[in-house]
Amino acid sequence: MADPTTAVRAAGGPRTFAWNPALVVGLVMLGVIAIVAIVAPLTMSGQATGIGGTPNLGSAPEHPLGTDTLGRDMLARTLVASQATVLMAAIATGLSAAAGIAFGVAVWLAPRRIREIGLRAIEFAVSYPTMLVAIIVAAILGQGVVQVVIAIAVANIAGFARLTANLAAKIASSEYVSTARLMGVPAHRIALRHVLPNMAEPTLILIAGAFSGALVEISGLSFIGLGAQTPAFDWGTLLNDGLSKIAVNPVVILGPAVALTFTSLAALLVGDGLAAAANPRSNTTRARLERIEGEPAVQDADAVLVADGITVRHGVTGRTLVDDVSFSIRRGEVLGIVGESGSGKSVTASVVGRLLGEGLSASARRLQLGGTDLLGRVPERTLAEKMAFVYQDPGTALNPALILGIQLSDVLRIRLRHSRRGAFGILLAGFRAVKLTDPEGRLRQYPHQLSGGMKQRAMIASAMSVKPELLIADEPTTALDVTVQREVLTLLKRLNEESGTAVLFISHDLGVVRALCDRVLVMKDGRIVERIDDVRSLSQETVTHPYTKQLLAATPVVSVPVAADQDEVTA
């Protein structure tokens, strides 16, 4: 069932940069830090380094954060140290970003052999803690401000290289790059024109994270004595000095601790904000289904399903997606709904199935399934045993992390109260009925071990295992190969005839629908534009709406002769 919110968002115009509170607050915080880092050393360095004050003061009016062992004001020292700290982190981040991106692009542009080796080297480097790499560099180069910046820069190169190589590989396989290649654009121009610009967003997010990481790591190295050495000082050394006085004068650690957290938080907010801007969240409302009063449009005494006046609106925009759609399905009948994507056919099915997507609100005059009013409160168990679903893409509709036996038997065990053995027995019988080979073995398999057609047959077996009164099949063949499509259609037809289960069959393909269904509804823009009751004699002459005529003209004739297929299935 297609997600209408994406369609609405796409209709909202070209993508614009979405400013959000996190990004604004983060940038403002970074701005404050930058100003402090520039101004503080110019105005406060006397207070920060001048010796002669009262040592080891607690919080006092003239020294709100106390003084250190040499009587220097900790507030001034913290503010002055922001220049060294932020500059070191920024330079380290800049160096690693430049080197990492260059390496990543080079690896991607290199011949296949070298690329493989380069990628392996990156994987090797990122599997170690950055701190270990930094310590190795510190062990080689010794301690000091320059060394620690180089150490952290080297340690973070691999992260940038990996992101760049991954993104480049993704973009390189994209259509616009293959087009450019086909047109003979040289590799370095592809990199410059197409690859780099499209990497900007994720790279900026990584830079924000790397800056915060570099800040914490550099200060950490200074904190343990591998970074800035006296008389140079940064937040890490201040924190280390404070630690020795922690028992007597804990206020002195407040300055560097708050400064580190504040800056790190600013980078985190900017990163979050950039990510949110790249992928804006739309407001949604909860799905609602309510009854409206009105003259019934459907009178059908022996129908299994009666759907009268289904209307669906988008919760936020109020756009009507389905407009007053009414139909009924009799026992053993297959009703097809056909229409292009966005016509509202899947949304209609989701209302009938009580699986309406978030952000939609639906109403109907009457929605009744075999004597149960679906507009009222219905026990989950009743829903579970009265209707079942087959979805469009069996590759995504099955849970990749669970074996088939577990996920397909859950409804039998939990909702229909069968024992584990009983449920497996029913499922096995179902697997045999849909002609899955080695049914016992399939129970123990994960979905990825089966082909698409087999997955869809397992799905159908599971759907039929509850003996539903209504089977809702939402484009069950669209994601399958043409030959497999035919098998699945044949199977659905056979199960429908054998069990008498009514089927609501959704498709965009009139050819498929006319081969399977007893009656067909044609939907366009949320309305039913044509009701075809006699599918067998369907032709240009028997339909009235121009859209149906168009559909019909574009459809080759497919026939599923039932008797012949029975043979084919058992062959």
Of residues 7, 410, 527, 529, which one binds other proteins by CB under 8 A? Answer: 410
Report, in Å, the least distance between residue 175 CB and other proteins.
25
Site for other proteins in 159-218 (CB under 8 A): 212, 216-217
The DSSP call for residue 281 is: P
Q: For residue 322, what are the β-bridge partners?
A: 312
Q: Rounded to whole angstroms, how far apart are CA atoms 56 and 71?
A: 6
Report, in Å, the least distance between residue 41 CB and other proteins.
23
Q: Is 143 an interacting residue with respect to other proteins (CB under 8 A)?
A: yes
Q: Rounded to whole angstroms, how far apart are CA atoms 312 and 315?
A: 9
Exposure letters 93-105 (e unless 16+ CB within 10 A, then b): bbbbbebbbebbb
Closest to 402 in 3D by CA, of 479, 463, 458: 458
Report, in Å, the least distance between residue 324 CB and other proteins.
26
Site for other proteins in 359-378 (CB under 8 A): 359
- Burial of 37: CB neighbours in 10 Å, binned 0-12, 13-18, 19+: buried
Looking at the Cβ atoms of 145 and 532, the one nearer to other proteins is: 145
Site for other proteins in 258-297 (CB under 8 A): 260-261, 264-265, 268-269, 272, 283-287
Contact indicator for 398, 363 with CB cutoff of 8 Å: no
Structure tokens that stand for 186 in this block: 């040289």
Q: Is 58 an interacting residue with respect to other proteins (CB under 8 A)?
A: no
Looking at the Cβ atoms of 446 and 547, the one nearer to other proteins is: 446
Site for other proteins in 421-460 (CB under 8 A): 435-438, 440-442, 444-446, 448-451, 453-454, 457
* Residue 29 burial (CB count, 10 A): 18
Omega cis (within 30) before 61: no
Looking at the chain, how many residues does it have?
571
In the stretch 483-522, what mask flags binding to other proteins with x, by CB under 8 A?
Answer: xx--x-----------------------------------
Site for other proteins in 91-130 (CB under 8 A): 123-124, 127-130
8 by DSSP, 3-state: which? helix
Q: Is 393 an interacting residue with respect to other proteins (CB under 8 A)?
A: yes
If residue 160 lies in a helix (H) or strand (E), which one and from where to where? helix 145-172
Q: Is 571 an interacting residue with respect to other proteins (CB under 8 A)?
A: yes
Q: Is 64 an interacting residue with respect to other proteins (CB under 8 A)?
A: no
Site for other proteins in 211-250 (CB under 8 A): 212, 216-217, 219-221, 223-226, 239-240, 242-243, 246-247, 250
Place of tokens 């009799």: 330
Number of residues that bind other proteins (CB under 8 A): 97
Phi-psi region of 523 (alpha: psi -120 to 50; beta: other; left: phi over 0): beta
Looking at the Cβ atoms of 121 and 558, the one nearer to other proteins is: 121
Report, in Å, the least distance between residue 151 CB and other proteins.
11
Closest to 374 in 3D by CA, of 464, 297, 470, 295: 470
Looking at the Cβ atoms of 442 and 493, the one nearer to other proteins is: 442
Contacts of 231 (CB under 8 A, 6+ apart): 49
Q: Rounded to whole angstroms, how far apart are CA atoms 94 and 98?
A: 6
Looking at the Cβ atoms of 273 and 309, the one nearer to other proteins is: 273
Looking at the Cβ atoms of 485 and 548, the one nearer to other proteins is: 485
Structure tokens that stand for 422 in this block: 């009983």
Of residues 8, 278, 384, 560, which one binds other proteins by CB under 8 A? Answer: 384
In the stretch 340-359, what mask flags binding to other proteins with x, by CB under 8 A?
Answer: -------------x-x--xx
Looking at the Cβ atoms of 253 and 520, the one nearer to other proteins is: 253
Looking at the Cβ atoms of 261 and 419, the one nearer to other proteins is: 261
Of residues 86, 89, 205, 398, which one binds other proteins by CB under 8 A? Answer: 398
Report, in Å, the least distance between residue 415 CB and other proteins.
6
Q: Rounded to whole angstroms, how far apart are CA atoms 231 and 77?
A: 12
Of residues 18, 24, 38, 139, which one binds other proteins by CB under 8 A? Answer: 139
CA dihedral 519, 520, 521, 524 (to 10 degrees): 180
Looking at the Cβ atoms of 365 and 457, the one nearer to other proteins is: 457
Structure tokens that stand for 459 in this block: 């799905």
404 by DSSP, 3-state: which? helix
Q: Is 7 an interacting residue with respect to other proteins (CB under 8 A)?
A: no
Q: Is 401 an interacting residue with respect to other proteins (CB under 8 A)?
A: yes
